[in-house]
Amino acid sequence: MPEGTLQNEAAPPPIKKKMATGAKVAIGCGSGCLLVVVLLVVGVVVSAFYVKKTITRYEQELKGFGFEKVASGQMLDMAEPVTEPILLKGQMVRIMAGSTTNLAVLAQACEVNGRIEGTLYFRGQVLTVNPGAVITGGVNAHAQALVNHGTIKGGITGKHQALSPPQQ
Distance of CA 81 to the CA centre of its chain: 29
Predicted local confidence at residue 8, as pLDDT: 61
DSSP 12: P
Residue 122, domain member (yes or no): yes
73-103 pLDDT, tens digit per residue, is: 999 999 999 999 999 999 999 999 889 999 9
* Whether residues 112 and 138 fall in one domain: yes
* Whether residues 53 and 105 fall in one domain: no
26-49 pLDDT, tens digit per residue, is: 788 888 888 999 999 999 999 888
Work out the average pLDDT over 48-58.
Answer: 86
Domains identified in the chain, total number: 2
CA distance 119 to 152: 10
pLDDT at 1 over 70: no
Rounded to the nearest integer, the mean pLDDT of the chain is 87
Range of the domain at 99: 67-164
> What predicted TM-score, i.e. pTM, was given to this entire model?
0.71
